[in-house]
Every structure is written in structure tokens, then in C-alpha cells.
Structure 1
């Protein structure tokens, strides 16, 4: 399968040469939590929105699709996490995708997945336009960053596949540890919503001290994680997501009640 390559192919930049972003949180987790839809916005022949807005008063992520549509579901979340892992390990924004599409699929831990599905989702992810608003830095002064996941990319047009991460994204990856365990998520071992909850709990652990039980209503949880799911469909999926993630984040105990969820130090 041949794909039209992007024109620019810059050389690698060591992580030590990247200027600080001064962010308290990594972009990857925010994009996973708030940016990537759970389901296809164009499913059932619906006309997809021109922009999706997710987040809360501290952090807002908007996503606009390219001509191929929105990335959605588990696969783009896996691609983002794998790219972040590779960037940290190689200390380079230039990520090798392997000699063939199958090499890339196996690296994601999904050898049985459809080649077309993974490549279409990667194409959509790399082409999406993302805006991150963050009010958690510099004494909660709001700031905004606009970026793509990929500065440029090439999908096996007679050469090895390659993607160069956007500068802001690479800086964030280089500077901030990611306590998300790749072995726990690769190959689609967690549903999409469970990956979102996993990213959220990791942010809570790292940047919000939990000194007393914190109660979060179902309406608030729905704003954060439900996307377009009605409440009667969202609640069982959220409870299932917590069940998947709880063993992976032992520092936090998540209780589920009729009123919502309670977070406390384990």
C-alpha cells in the first residue's frame, strides 16, 4: 500500500537540546483524555462536527479533522502512547515505523488487527489539528498551544515508514515521565474509555494531592469521559473501565456509588 508522503523530513533532535515547555502535564495524556473520540463521529451516516471540544475549566482540548475524518477508538490511543514510548527511548522526534505496515502493527502489539484500520486511524491522527488550553501552569495562568501529532510522516512508499513528531509534542514527551504502563495497554488490552481513565488517574496522582476523599458526580464524569454516550450507556462502561484500571493505579482507590465516583489515597 502506497501513501503520499509529507514533504519535510528534518533530522533528529536530541531530547537534551529541547527548550523547556514548563508544563506540569504531558500533552499525550490530555489528547487521549479529551481529544480523541470514543466512537466515529460520522457513524450511521451522521455528518461529523467541524470541531470537537472536550475538557474542564483547567484543561480544554479541541480537535479538528483533516480530509480523512476523525481518529477514534482504541487504535489512535495506542498509536499515541507507542509514539511517546519510542520518542523517550530513542530521544528523537523521528520515529521509525518499520520496513512494512506489518512491522508497525506488530510493534503496537496487534498482529491480528486489520492493516487498513490501523493505517487509516494513524493517518487521521497524524492529520488532525489539535488545540490544547492549559490553566495549570505559572500560577494557573491560562495558555494555549496549537499542534499536530505529526510534523510530517511517510507510509511505506518504497521506503521505511517514518513519522516526525510535532515540536511541542516531542518537548512534552521528552520532559515529562509517563507512568502509563505500555505493557498494560498494548494490543488493545484496555478499552478506549479505560485508557482515558488510566491517563486521568495518572494525572491526578502526579499533579493533584489527594488529602481527603474527593467526590465526583456522574454528571461531571460524563462531561469528562462520555463524549456522546447517554448516561444509561456511559455508567456501565465507566464502571467497567475503572475495573480494568484499578489494579494498574494502586495509589488511588476509586469507589463507585449512585452519586458518582470517590477518589482517595489507597
Structure 2
């Protein structure tokens, strides 16, 4: 065990010197995440120790340009931060997640199904960001499918299993589903029914993703959903989301920490059962969830090095931290 910890610390410490080879913060953080993956792979079941993570966090904080300065300030719908959409493909057309007194439920036509994975998260981030910046309900997606996918940080690939097919499928699922948010504290109860889009028009040809459509492809956001975005959207750094888009849970944890720690006034403890209900309801075994959540948390903390969080055997401790996003 001692030899393994020494190896881990050596890899992390050596990364500090290597980071000087990168001229910008994005490449620096990419290198950090790559090193993290190497350490995770070679350390088998052992996660990074707090000491090693502290080194990585310190390195990630070097000269990071703010999202606003870089033109990368984005937004996420608050309703989708407090509880999130499925990480993997659900077996049913009904889904539920809880966060204390807050419950998010999703339902969809059985022939279409529910959205899941990274792509609907990227879609929601883009839609929310554009709604906040333009103050318009109807959003033009782009002249071509390739242009729109580039806005989402996706490379267009064809075939049945390609990114084009998968994105089209997730767009159908996201815009066809219905979302209900309820709050029940035992004495009072509130409900908010959400339909993301009131109208959607896609005129791109998937066979020719670079060709412009004859008409604009647009999304018209539901009026109530649009108003909630304007008043309650959560600011995030789009550059950093792009670095972890391979992990839906890491995106959820990063966005949640950005929101939660910005408003935290005192030390708060969240037990594992509540975290499981909020982030991992699709993972049956709690020990498997804890392992997946810890990995996602480590990635999120590399990107948000000021976050004062501590996972323990009993749960997660959050402490007031420096605000991550300066609006």
C-alpha cells in the first residue's frame, strides 16, 4: 500500500512540472484529467488520496481565465440542477429523482422514450445559455447540422451508431418528454409542470450534415420554461463541461457543486442515501453508486479546485467555498 501511494504521489507531483508545457488553461486541465485517468486505472480500487487530489487541484487553479473573460459563460436550467435526467437508457418511459423535499419526475411517449446521457445535457446547456443571452423564446439552431453539433462540442459522424443518429434520437426524446417538479415539506406542497419546447422544426439532411437547410431549424421554448430560465438559470463554465462530456454524472456533479456552493452559508452534511436518490437512482447497489459518485466528484473538483468538499464513509460534507463563476 505504501509503495502504491508513493507511486500515486510521484505521478501527481511530476505533473506540476509537465503543466508548464501548456500555454492555456484548457490544455492544462485536459492534461490533468488525462493524468487522473491514468492514476485511476493503475490504482485499481483505490481512489486518489486527499493529498494527491490537493496537488491536482492546486495545479488546475494556475492562471485559469474566468468563463466570462473567455466568452464561455453558460447557463443550466435550475430545475435540471437540483435533480437530473437519466444517465443511461431507462427501461421504462417514467423516471424519478429526489433531492430532499424536491422531486423531479419525467414521462415520455412509450414509442419515443426518455432522454439520457450526455447529449440532452449539452442540448439543455445550449438552449438555456442562448435563451439567457438573447432573451428570445425562438432559437435558431444553425444553418447546418454540422454547425449546430459544433456549437454543442460534438463531432458529426454518420452510421447507425454515429453521433448524428444519436443526437437526433436524443432531441426527439428531450422535446417530447414532460417534466413535473414537486416540493413537499410535510406542511405545504407545490408543483411545476414543465414542457421544454412548444414547437420544434428540424430541416437538416442527416446524410449531408454540412449542407444548409432550405428553412431555418428552430426551437421555440415553452413560455413558462423560458421565463424560468431568464429568472433562475445557473451559471457554469462551458469550457469545463466540454472536458468531462464523456461522463454524464461528472457533468451533473460539477454543475450541482457550482450552484450549491455559491449559496452555501454553513457547513452541510449530505448522507449517502440522499445522494443516491439525487444522482444515482438507476444504480441499484449503493456501493457501486458511491464508487461512481466519488470518481465523478474527483473530476468535478479538478475543474472546481476551490470547492471545499469531503466524501466520507457516511456521506458528503460541503463547506462554504469561493464562488466558482463570476457573472
Q: TM-score range by the shorter chain?
A: 0.7 to 0.9
With over 3 angstroms needed to count, the CA separation of the structure-2 counterparts of 1:143 and 1:250, relative to structure 1, is farther
Match for residue 116 of structure 2? 72
With over 3 angstroms needed to count, the CA separation of the structure-2 counterparts of 1:123 and 1:149, relative to structure 1, is same
> Are residues 1:143 and 2:190 paired?
yes
2:259 to 203, 211, 222: 203
User: What does 1:114-263 correspond to in 2, within 5 Å?
Assistant: 114-134=163-183, 142-156=189-203, 158-186=214-242, 189=245, 191-209=247-265, 211-212=266-267, 214-229=268-283, 230-263=285-318
Match for residue 10 of structure 2? none
> Are residues 1:90 and 2:134 paired?
yes
1:55-103 alpha-carbon deviations (Å, 9 max, x no partner): 2333111100133111001110110011111111111111111122222
- DSSP-derived class of the 2:155 partner: coil
Q: Decide which structure has the larger Cα Rg and report it.
A: 2
Match for residue 58 of structure 1? 101
Match for residue 31 of structure 1? 80
How many positions carry a matched residue from both structures?
Answer: 230
Structure 1 unaligned spans of 5+:
1-25, 43-47
Measured in 1, the distance between the counterparts of 2:114 and 2:81 equals 13
- DSSP-derived class of the 1:215 partner: strand
Deviation at 1:112, TM superposition (A): 4.5
- DSSP-derived class of the 1:228 partner: coil
The TM-score, its normalising length taken from structure 2, stands at 0.64
Q: Which moved more, 1:255-264 or 1:29-38?
A: 29-38
The TM-score, its normalising length taken from structure 1, stands at 0.78
Q: Which moved more, 1:182-191 or 1:96-105?
A: 182-191
Measured in 1, the distance between the counterparts of 2:276 and 2:320 equals 23
Q: Which runs of 4+ in 1 moved over 6 A?
A: none
Q: More helix by proportion, 1 or 2? A: 2
Residues 65 and 129 of structure 1 are in contact (CA less than 8 Å); yes or no, is this contact kept in structure 2? yes
Measured in 2, the distance between the counterparts of 1:97 and 1:228 equals 32
With over 3 angstroms needed to count, the CA separation of the structure-2 counterparts of 1:203 and 1:75, relative to structure 1, is same
Residues 205 and 251 of structure 1 are in contact (CA less than 8 Å); yes or no, is this contact kept in structure 2? no
Higher relative contact order (CA 8 A, sep 6+): 1
Residues 109 and 187 of structure 1 are in contact (CA less than 8 Å); yes or no, is this contact kept in structure 2? no
Match for residue 110 of structure 1? 154
Measured in 2, the distance between the counterparts of 1:32 and 1:264 equals 19
Measured in 2, the distance between the counterparts of 1:255 and 1:35 equals 22
